[in-house]
Amino acid sequence: MTHDQNQDDAEASAASPGVIRIAVATQNPGKLREFADALAGLPFELVAAGDLGITEFPEENGATYEENALIKAGHIALTTGLPALSDDSGLEVDALAGAPGIYTARFGGPGLTDGERMAHLLQRLRKVPDAERTARFVAVIVLATPAGAVEAFRGESEGRVLQGPRGAHGFGYDPIFFSTELGKGFAEATLAEKRGVSHRGRALAAFAAWATTPTGTEVLLDTTPRQLDFD
């Protein structure tokens, strides 16, 4: 089931069963900080996959953000025995027919730095005027549990691609993304400002709203490995 940032707000929060450990399937420290900041104050202990001895992830060869996030979350949940969160995100540029999309992290080819990928994107847009550089960040966060439960949470943030990098914060494509809602670039915003409007922040808010309901808490607490019957 896929949720958006408004879908779960109506459900009442369950009584806390204690701290729930959740593995986070990322090696990106910037993403981990966003996860921790967005879920601060909730009864969750986030543990990076690397701290659980997992340093390699399966290839992200899905056709959608949901599929790519599930590949990682499912792997971590089955390997660690913990509920696992993973995300896949992308920048969709209207002038490029939605590209780079699910290929954002690999845009321009293998082995490039974030700066080189931004330069590649800016080169592709060099003749596109500001009014036609509209774009959006999309993030999908997937929860997978050892018991076989899967939930997906989606968030989007509208804006446009800048003519060049601005600001000193953020990571990835943040320096060249201007947020329509903030009136400034993502890399010019504080973490709190960005979380309020960012694609990942909105997906995390949707997860938090669901996870603190009775249904969400029950799913997170059930870590009994799924038994497959081949008879």
Q: Which run of H or of E encompasses 194?
A: helix 191-197
- Integer Cα distance of 134 and 155 in angstroms: 17
- Please say if 88 is a catalytic residue: yes
- Integer Cα distance of 21 and 174 in angstroms: 30
For residue 100, the 8-state DSSP code is: B
Catalytic residue among 8, 51, 87, 88: 88
Q: Buried (b) or exposed (e) across 186-203, using 16+ Cβ within 10 A? A: bbbbebebbbbbbbbbbb
- Integer Cα distance of 218 and 188 in angstroms: 39
Closest C-alpha among 150, 141, 115, 126 to residue 199: 141
- Hey, which residues does 93 pair with through a beta bridge? 135
Catalytic residue positions, numbered: 88
